[in-house]
Amino acid sequence: MSQPKRKEETVGKEMNGIEALAYVLKEIGTKKIFSSITLPENVKERLEQYEIKQDISLNARDSVMLAETYAMENNMPGVVIQIPGTQIFEALDVISQAYMDSIPLLIISSLRSYRDTGRARVGELRTPDDLSTTLSQITKLREKVVSIEEITVTVEKANKEALSNRPRPTLVEIAEDLFKLKAYPLSPAEQKPEKRTPDKNTVAKAAEVLSNSKLPVIVAGYGVISSSSYKDLIELAELLDIPVITTIKGKGSFPASNPLYAGEGLGLIGTEVGNKIFSEADSILLLGTRLTQLSTGGWSMKYKGFVMHNNIDGEDIGKVLMPHLPIVADTGLFLKELITILKQKVKEKIDRGIQTEIKVNKKPITLKGHVDLWPYDIVRLLQQFKFSKIFVDISSTTFDMIRYPIDAPVWFTSESILAKGIGIAGVLEAEDSNALGITDIYSVSKNLSLLYSRHKSAKGTIIIFNDEGATYLDTTKADVPTIGKSKFTVNLDKELEALGAYTIYTYSDLKSALNEKKENLKILNVKIDPEYESAVLSRF
């Protein structure tokens, strides 16, 4: 391929497609990529030359699942390189989940050829557009690269789009022909992620409503975490003495130990004190939340206040509650503007006495007497331990984990639940002996290849809430999530024992296992009474 006319616009070095890719990944700050065992050796060598770590899995689904948890944990794109690109089809559920949960992924895949397509190559689809067409509904941007010059600027653009405004997966397809050719790649354009700024009049109106309210309340969603604005949220809440309720995915956006914390969830899965405050509030500020089915108990919350709904775009505003004041903006930028205005209006911190009301109305969770382990028994015990990160697969057995108190943004889960495995992949990827994964037996069955390939080198603790598949999270009989009975069981004890898992039947055994010091991964197969009752969900 020919050199561009203006050499000053290039990186100043002739490269093949593989080196151009490694070069731009380093330029955009990529420290680690995720791939499968089919990643060619020449690609690995070039990535090593550019000091980019490679996390290699058995298959594409495992690599994308690890990339998703990496993106959650680090609030930056999980970069996946998949060659050949058609193996990405194995991970459609994970990419869909990342799209719905606003998780940034940069997926780089290969086209078998752009010159002479349709020759029935291994891993080749009918047309070069088939992969991008399939992923069109679950990716934010899709680009094809058919010249070495364009590799740098296209990958940089996809990385920018993955992070801009609402974070989501992006796709870049690079023709494998370019791996064997040389040219001068264009210099990266230093493209920075875009964040939507708030309308000043809208912010001023929100400030006026909040400062004049007798009982305002804030509902904090994942947007607070993804915009890194949890400190701003604390400052706002303490300035105006506003109680804060978090969504399930937004846990950690406000410290559970703060006296203004009123619990997580709304409606039939909310706390008693949180629902009381929400229903009595004269103004409601929703921050970075979609008001999902799980976090609202099937949209069962009651309210009467003036609703202000902030989200990064208008995609979800008005679908559940019709706000009196829509606030389309990056949550972090909105909070900073709001606090600036409020500090001009409010010279001293307000004391509404709401902290006392929260303290008085908070009630401990009580369960009727039982012999075998129930999910909340595990949750209660875990409160005696400290974990650096907590990855949770939400299910019928693990749902009570939403009552586990979190004081920092170290809680990672999904409310769309399109792909199971966060509680497993998160711990395996984190390489942190103090990381905790919470999962169920269904998730284990979906991710056995990950466990088998990494259990000897991984660190941390994975706890399986194992009722042998006797129950499931039912969201079809009614909007309100409930515990459904499956009339089906599966026993994976032998497979788990082969991984070195401890089988736990009693509270004391679980406590001993948690206290045991172990350098490598600790897998606790905790047997749950199939007839358990939940501290949160009803059972029919």
Q: What is the pLDDT of residue 118?
A: 67
Please check whether residue 322 is in contact with residue 247, taking contact to mean a CB–CB distance below 8 angstroms: no
Locate 332 and state its tokens.
């972090």
- Over range 440-453, report the average pLDDT: 96
- How high is the mean pLDDT of the chain? 95
Answer with the residue of higher pLDDT: 337 or 112.
Answer: 337
pLDDT digits (tens, 9 = 90+) for 40-57: 999 999 999 999 999 999
How far is C-alpha 348 from the chain's CA centre?
Answer: 37
Residue (of 275, 267, 286) closest to 335 by Cα position: 286
Average pLDDT value for residue range 12-19: 94
Give a three-class secondary structure readout of 131-187: HHHHCCCCCCEEEEECCHHHHHHHHHHHHHHHHCCCCCCEEEEEEHHHHHCEECCEC
What does the pLDDT average to over 80-97? 96
Instruction: Provide the percentage of residues in the chain whose pLDDT is more than 90.
Output: 90
Per-residue pLDDT at 1? 44
**Which is more confident, 383 or 8?**
383
What are 391's strand-pairing partners? Answer: 412, 437
pLDDT at res. 126 = 82
**In the predicted model, is pLDDT for residue 116 greater than 90?**
no
Question: Is the model's pLDDT at 61 over the cut of 60?
Answer: yes
Asked if the 375-527 domain carries CATH number 3.40.50.300, the reply is no
What are the residue ranges spanned by the domains of the chain?
A: 15-183, 200-361, 375-527
Lowest-pLDDT range of 31-35, 63-67, 177-181, 299-303? 177-181
Could you tell me which of 167, 87, 92 has the C-alpha nearest to residue 123? 87
Q: What is the pLDDT of residues 142-169, one digit of tens each?
A: 999 999 999 999 999 999 999 999 999 9
Q: What is the pLDDT of residue 7?
A: 57
Please indicate, yes or no, whether the overall pTM of this predicted structure exceeds 0.85: yes
What pLDDT does residue 120 have?
72
Cβ neighbours for 305, distance < 8 A, ≥ 6 positions apart:
213, 215, 216, 217, 281, 282, 283, 284
What's the CATH class of domain 15-183?
A: alpha beta
Fold: same for 200-361 and 375-527: yes
For residue 2, what pLDDT band results from cuts at 50, 70 and 90? very low
Q: What is the mean pLDDT of residues 401-417?
A: 97
Using CB atoms within 10 Å of the CB of residue 495, give its burial: 0 to 12 exposed, 13 to 18 middle, 19+ buried: middle
Q: What angle do CA 276, 295, 74 make, to 5 degrees?
A: 125
Biggest CA pair distance of the chain: 80
Q: Find the range with the poorest average confidence among 6-20, 132-146, 172-186.
A: 6-20
Work out the number of other CB atoms within 10 angstroms of the CB of residue 238: 16
The model's confidence at residue 6, banded by pLDDT at 50, 70 and 90, is low
Rounded to whole angstroms, what are the CA distances from 159 to 105, 140, 164, 185, 413? 8, 11, 9, 17, 23
In contact, 12 and 184? CB cutoff 8 Å: yes
DSSP alpha helix (H) spans, 346-498: 354-361, 375-382, 422-430, 441-446, 448-454, 493-498
Tens-digit pLDDT profile for residues 499-512: 999 999 999 999 99
| Residue with more model confidence, 3 or 73 | 73
Model confidence at 5: pLDDT above 50: no
Mean pLDDT of 408-437: 97
Mean pLDDT of 197-220: 97
Lowest mean pLDDT among 218-227, 269-278, 343-352, 443-452: 343-352
Upper half-sphere CA count for residue 249 (Cβ side, 13 Å): 29
Which comes out higher in pLDDT, residue 127 or 387?
Answer: 387
Predicted local distance difference test score (pLDDT) of residue 117: 66
175 vs 121, residue with greater confidence? 175
CATH for the 200-361 domain, from 3.40.50.150, 3.40.190.10, 2.40.50.140, 3.40.50.1220: 3.40.50.1220
Q: Hey, what are 160's tokens? A: 């920018």
* Residue 15 in this model has a pLDDT that exceeds 60: yes
Phi-psi category of 412—alpha, beta or left, where left has phi over 0 and alpha has psi -120 to 50? beta
**Does residue 112 have a pLDDT over 60?**
yes
